[in-house]
């Protein structure tokens, strides 16, 4: 019943639009250089307007949902030129031959503003890893070189760009590391090498959180 009412509404709208098109075409001056209306022009204009209205009405009738409701599409244009604008948020189908472009966010390397110490890490380790001046790191956080910090301590990281003073790499790599203690962690191993980021070790060994290490386990160090 709702679908019938919708179809009647569409037919009525088509009749009104056709009437407007005829009136607009009749009132438009389509004159030849001699000032007379060229035979056939008026009928062609009316035919164009009628064809476009039929196409538009067909598109709207096909868009009727099973429940009998019309989508909130709108018609824009002049009486002889109509465009069916789909509802806001409606899914669109990619045209043939056009490959959608998917933008994948990528990580941006850099020095964080803060860093939370993990088990086995200490300030000098973090200074080597991020290549920041160790004295500035200690001063910024009110620390001494001999001070031991607990995991979970949040360090403020200097943003001056001044590098680490001394050798960042403590052991040569790439290579392998064999776990020998239950206290060994990915973070402690990274500090053992100095300039290695734990995420590099995780990626090189396809490890899964929480990255628990087993004695005699061999890790690839990039």
Bridge partners (DSSP) of residue 75 are 84
| 83-85 and 114-116 beta bridge pairing | unpaired
**pLDDT value at residue 140:** 97
Q: Of all residues in the chain, what percent carry a pLDDT higher than 70? A: 51
Burial of 170 (0-12, 13-18, 19+ CB in 10 A): middle
List, for residues 2-48, the tens digit of each pLDDT value.
555 555 666 666 666 665 554 554 444 444 444 444 545 444 434 44
Q: C-alpha angle with apex 179: 177 to 185, nearest 5 degrees?
A: 100
Q: Report the pLDDT value the prediction gives residue 147, as an integer from 0 to 100.
A: 84
Count the residues in the chain: 222
Cα 52–chain centre separation: 38
Taking residue 24's Cβ as centre, other Cβ atoms within 10 Å add up to 15
Distances (CA, A) of 162 to 7, 108, 112, 132: 75, 20, 14, 6
Locate the DSSP E strands across 92-171: 114-116, 154-156
| 202 vs 185: CA distance, rounded Å | 11
Q: Is the pLDDT of residue 85 over 90?
A: no
Kindly report the pTM of this predicted structure.
0.51
């Amino acid at each position: 019943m709702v679908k019938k009412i919708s179809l009647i509404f569409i037919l009525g709208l088509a009749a009104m639009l056709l009437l407007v098109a005829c009136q607009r075409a009749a009132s438009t001056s389509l004159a030849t250089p001699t000032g007379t209306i060229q035979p056939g022009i008026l009928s062609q204009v009316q035919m164009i307007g009628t064809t476009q209205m039929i196409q538009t009405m067909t598109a709207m009738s096909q868009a009727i949902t099973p429940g009998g409701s019309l989508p909130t599409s709108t018609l824009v244009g002049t009486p002889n030129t109509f465009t069916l604008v789909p509802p806001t948020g409606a899914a669109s189908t990619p045209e043939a031959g056009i490959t959608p472009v998917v933008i994948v966010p990528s990580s941006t390397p850099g020095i964080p503003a803060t860093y939370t110490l993990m088990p086995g890490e200490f300030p000098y380790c973090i200074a080597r890893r991020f290549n920041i001046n160790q004295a500035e790191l200690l001063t910024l956080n009110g620390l001494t070189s001999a001070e031991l910090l607990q995991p979970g301590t949040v360090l403020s990281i200097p943003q001056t760009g001044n590098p680490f003073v001394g050798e960042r790499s403590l052991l040569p790599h790439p290579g392998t590391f064999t776990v020998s203690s239950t206290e060994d962690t990915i973070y402690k191993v990274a500090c053992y090498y100095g300039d290695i980021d734990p995420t590099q070790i995780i990626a090189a060994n396809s490890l899964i959180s929480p990255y628990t290490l087993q004695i005699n386990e061999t890790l690839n160090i990039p």
